[in-house]
Amino acid sequence: MKHFTLTSRTPITKGADTESGFDGGRYGMGGYGEGEEEIVITLDDGTVLNLLDFVQDVLTVWKTFFVAHAP
């Protein structure tokens, strides 16, 4: 079967928030020297993930994998 229909789903996120301006993101990375947009995801168990940190961690794992498995 090529297509599937999702019939049940258990969401694990409680919410997601975004901020931008002088209080958000990494300082100096946004326009005019202000902080860039920051996205924070809160899971049902209370875990809070900063999306910039999460993406950096994923890239680090992939880089390590490719270095270890290079021909």
Q: Are 62 and 70 in contact (CB under 8 A)?
A: no
- pTM greater than the 0.75 cutoff: no
Least confident range from 1-5, 8-12, 14-18, 65-69: namely 1-5
Residue 56 identity (one-letter amino acid): Q
Tally of domains in the chain: 1
Q: Is residue 31 part of a domain?
A: yes
**Per-residue model confidence as pLDDT tens digits over 19-66:** 766 555 555 555 555 566 788 999 999 999 988 888 999 999 999 999
Instruction: Give the side-chain half-sphere CA count within 13 A for 60.
Output: 6
Q: Are 53 and 36 in contact (CB under 8 A)?
A: no
| pLDDT on residue 52 | 84
Q: Is residue 4 part of a domain?
A: no
Q: Is residue 39 part of a domain?
A: yes
Per-residue tokens: 14: 């409680």
| pLDDT on residue 35 | 61
Q: Which domain holds residue 29?
A: 13-68
Strand partners, 37: none
Q: Is residue 21 part of a domain?
A: yes
| pLDDT on residue 65 | 96
Q: Is residue 3 part of a domain?
A: no
